[in-house]
Structure 1
């Protein structure tokens, strides 16, 4: 079993090396006050004036300047080349929720690897936030506040079945597979959508306007506010 590097009662903002708008970083930190860098994501945090609680990755892109600026006990290099930096970090953070920025870049292969990691770590809720939308692994049951007419997309990364309430095209009776039936470009017909999926492997993709609703659905305890910052394990 992989031991966590960061354990927190608060949500965590995980920053990668891809583009991150200053407004998005402020938004994430307001919801998830602990900051963790995935490799060169630490450079982005330092440039924003934020000292990350921990830096996790293979350190092949972390700059020497950033490495020198960080306390040694916050650096957690992992030489494994079979997983991405996002995967390494996701597997070693234990928190009610992770808000991930800087992982939806221009490269399709990087984006696919991020989605792959999401469904392989279903016990750790994580929202991967992009400029216009965000994605997360669907839990076994999901109830989400919505608005009629909004987009609601689903993409399976494993064979599974699902049931839905509040979608224009219901999911009942469909057999989802990555190379067959998928669920992109559906739309909402009610003020609440309910999903039930047969197992892990379904990615939910929603417009940014649903971010607060997804946070409330995946980590309802966060509505009570941050529980206070704690240091990363070992520092």
Structure 2
């Protein structure tokens, strides 16, 4: 069992080294007030004027200034078979994680993040960008999403996945989704409640960023300030 370096009864905001609009940081901290940095995310935090409770990773991307500033909260994990995102995620205990600065940069980094997202779907981690919120659908459990009319609901498989849906313009029953085959980008909500259930792990659900609270509610997260 992994040692938990940060524990919270509320959500945790996890910041990486990629681009993070200030408004996105403000929104995330309003819902998940404890900030943790994955390696070079500590430098991004400094630029945004915020301070993480912990910095987790192999620390090979951390500047000297960040090392000095956060010397009392550095947690170095030396193994090299996982990414800094994965290292941080598996050492956090919280109802959910809002993850910023993990998309919009290098494509290989983003794909590695999505890989960890589906492998650790029980962590209830959501990737936030300026335009999207991405979550891994928990296998075997129904997601109930309250969405506005014609809201975009994109599905992207990271493995071979089948599932069921209600409330989508194009139903997904009978489809075998695979990364190199059938995918489900740009589906549309046809009624106020969309229901999704997948038989296997591996499906990413991608929604407009404005639907962050709907995504959190669908995952059954608790202890959301103001909810």
TM-score range, shorter chain: over 0.9
SS at match of 1:160: coil
SS at match of 1:67: helix
Q: Could you tell me which residue of structure 2 aligns to residue 231 of structure 1?
A: none
Which ranges in structure 2 are unaligned for 5 or more consecutive residues? Answer: none
Structure 1 position 136 matched with structure 2 position 142 = no
Which ranges in structure 1 are unaligned for 5 or more consecutive residues? Answer: 227-235
Q: Distance in 2 between matches of 1:174 and 1:222?
A: 36
Post-superposition shift, 1:225?
4.7
Post-superposition shift, 1:141?
1.6
Structure 1 position 150 matched with structure 2 position 148 = no
Report the number of matched residues: 225
**1:220–1:78: structure 2 CA closer, same or farther, 3 Å change rule?**
closer
Residues 98, 126 of structure 1: 8 Å contact kept: yes
Residues 145, 215 of structure 2: 8 Å contact kept: yes
Compute the TM-score of the two structures, normalised by the length of structure 1: 0.91
Q: Distance in 2 between matches of 1:223 and 1:195?
A: 23
SS at match of 2:163: strand
Structure 1 position 194 matched with structure 2 position 195 = yes
Deviation string, structure 1 residues 14-41 (Cα, Å, up to 9, x no partner): 0000011111111100100000000111
Compute the TM-score of the two structures, normalised by the length of structure 2: 0.94
Q: Could you tell me which residue of structure 2 aligns to residue 48 of structure 1?
A: 48
Q: Could you tell me which residue of structure 2 aligns to residue 90 of structure 1?
A: 89
Residues 154, 204 of structure 1: 8 Å contact kept: yes
Q: Distance in 2 between matches of 1:205 and 1:61?
A: 29
4+ runs deviating over 6 angstroms: none
* Mapping of residues 43-122 of structure 1, within 5 Å: 43-72=43-72, 74-122=73-121
**1:178–1:81: structure 2 CA closer, same or farther, 3 Å change rule?**
same
Deviation string, structure 1 residues 175-194 (Cα, Å, up to 9, x no partner): 11111111111111010100
Post-superposition shift, 1:208?
1.1
Deviation string, structure 1 residues 32-53 (Cα, Å, up to 9, x no partner): 0000000111112233332211
Q: Distance in 2 between matches of 1:223 and 1:82?
A: 33
Q: Give me the CA root mean square deviation.
A: 1.4
Post-superposition shift, 1:215?
1.6
Q: Distance in 1 between matches of 2:12 and 2:145?
A: 21
Deviation string, structure 1 residues 89-137 (Cα, Å, up to 9, x no partner): 1111111010000011232111111100001111100110011112110
